[in-house]
Structure 1
């Protein structure tokens, strides 16, 4: 990860930075201006962190200014989202997020501390991805049907499945897998995909549900096995893994997204400038290859398209969550 972009901390405000803060937006847009912060709601080592660093490396050149990745891990991205809300709307802070923080948290938490429609503005989307079920190396099953049979043979059909955050799409997927196959599956929430993966690699938990970017490296290394994926078709990164629909579990065809969001009130000129840089970055063959290898389907989404996708995804999952009987906490 360090070869992509060395992790930097929060910038200290020295006299030069205080002077820069007083400049108009036009001055901030000039090469050599103050850094652009990309907030990430998960710890270093996870899929979102790796993706942010791939983008940051290229955005520095297109924007002509430093781009730093700032990990604000915890609460499934809620801490980073609150940090975005508190940030100045000056075009110097964006939040790299997938569906969970923007679309799902407001549906499962009564007061998440932010309202995406009021507090954020979409900047640009750059990829979609799918969630998947993966089995730990120590789990003898080689497929979802074999996993179902294995769980049934272990203590009356009870099992724990790791998820990277509580009240997330992976958690609801665990619940529905259990209901579909008559298993007593309990979601075991972690603080991000990295600690969940550590327990899977250590065979502390037999299975996990997370994104393909979270699983792909260890899947290719043969340390875990992705056995089922969401979406309407199989994924190029794991072509042997069937979709849940193929295995008899429908309703998970709508795929999540990755995008950048800025504080509400950010000038349109700044949003357009960052969006244009993202478009250039994801058009580069090496960036497309790296992100595709991580399990993403790369495709630039301008501001209006990302906004429409976020609304549609939120509406689709609002129905699933309500039907599950889940009560917002």
Structure 2
């Protein structure tokens, strides 16, 4: 073999070897890929709310699955999670930042806000889904109502048909449900938006507002302790944690059987091996008996959904609600 031929052969061998070496950090197991790094979990709602509690539970366990990485929950409340979503869009696509969110921010906000500052399909990568949940209608302890029918009667008698219903964010699924419930029962109900479920719950527990519409995880503990009462839930069946509470369909409001979800997103451009590694770590975490038990007790139906499948679910959910929102006559603000 001539000297020139040998040089060409060495270059040919070196190219794939170099490519393999560069890929090693991305293809390494999660424990190796994340060891010694800071990993941020963005949350779009205040501390103490359902999303925050869930994220902190996951962060505690993800630390071990990511090889001792320092997993930090970073709350960026405001505008229904919009600020956190914008922060994710501008974050580096290197596996250091993820967004723990529910459907409102990624699926509903782009439908109701003219300029949300992000595009879910183009700015984010779906990493994994890990739970679904039902929205619920709850009445404050200061009201005498123990059912939706009794709540409707109370509003008509005590409020002359007028009432306010707390919601965790403006132009959210709960707001559209308030509109539909008001229409069905011929009530003049106003959706009162809060900056997350925690301040809404504070006003409900203080009897500052007669009813609230949020997720089952927001209400479940106080319902069990008799501080408020859940009187209706979304979904195609009753919730295991609330077997005596009817669904909206049972009350004559069908069309809300597709349940909202919780999932994780990363900035667009995050390498697939990185998101797959995080998804695998998350799958292990939500399968842990103590984690599953705690999430289930909060009213979640737990189950890991891989990134591609989760992305398809989010797109279908968004398309379905686009029809509902358009039919309501709502004009994006």
TM-score by length of 2: 0.90
Q: Quote the residue 1:328 is aligned against.
A: 332
Q: d(CA) in 2 for partners of 1:155 and 1:304?
A: 48
Q: Quote the residue 2:116 is aligned against.
A: 112
- 1:15-164 alignment runs, 5 A limit: 29-30=32-33, 32-64=35-67, 65-164=69-168
Shift of residue 269 of structure 1? 1.0
1:64-108 deviations in whole A, cap 9, x for unaligned?
111110000110000000000010000110000100000000000
Give the counterpart of 2:273 among 264, 269, 273. 269
Q: Quote the residue 2:260 is aligned against.
A: 256
Q: d(CA) in 2 for partners of 1:142 and 1:296?
A: 23
- Structure 1, unmatched stretches of 5+, are 1-23
Q: Does 1:166 align with 2:170?
A: yes
Q: Quote the residue 2:205 is aligned against.
A: 201
Q: Quote the residue 1:239 is aligned against.
A: 243
1:123-144 deviations in whole A, cap 9, x for unaligned?
0110000100000000111000
- 1:220-231 alignment runs, 5 A limit: 220-231=224-235
SS of the residue corresponding to residue 212 of structure 2 reads strand
The Cα RMSD (Å) is: 1.4
Shift of residue 181 of structure 1? 0.5
Q: d(CA) in 2 for partners of 1:201 and 1:110?
A: 34
* Alpha carbons 1:85, 1:263 under 8 Å: kept: yes
SS of the residue corresponding to residue 165 of structure 1 reads coil
Shift of residue 237 of structure 1? 1.4
SS of the residue corresponding to residue 158 of structure 2 reads coil
Q: Quote the residue 1:21 is aligned against.
A: none
User: If you compute each CA radius of gyration, which structure gives the higher value, 1 or 2?
Assistant: 2
Shift of residue 239 of structure 1? 1.3
Number of residue equivalences: 307
- 161-170 vs 216-225, which deviates more? 216-225
Q: Quote the residue 2:11 is aligned against.
A: none
1:227-256 deviations in whole A, cap 9, x for unaligned?
100000000111111000001111111101
Q: Quote the residue 1:8 is aligned against.
A: none
1:244-281 deviations in whole A, cap 9, x for unaligned?
00011111111011000000000111101100001101
Q: Quote the residue 1:15 is aligned against.
A: none
TM-score by length of 1: 0.91
Q: Quote the residue 1:188 is aligned against.
A: 192
Shift of residue 31 of structure 1? 5.3
Q: Of Structure 1 and Structure 2, which has the larger fraction of its residues in helix?
A: 2
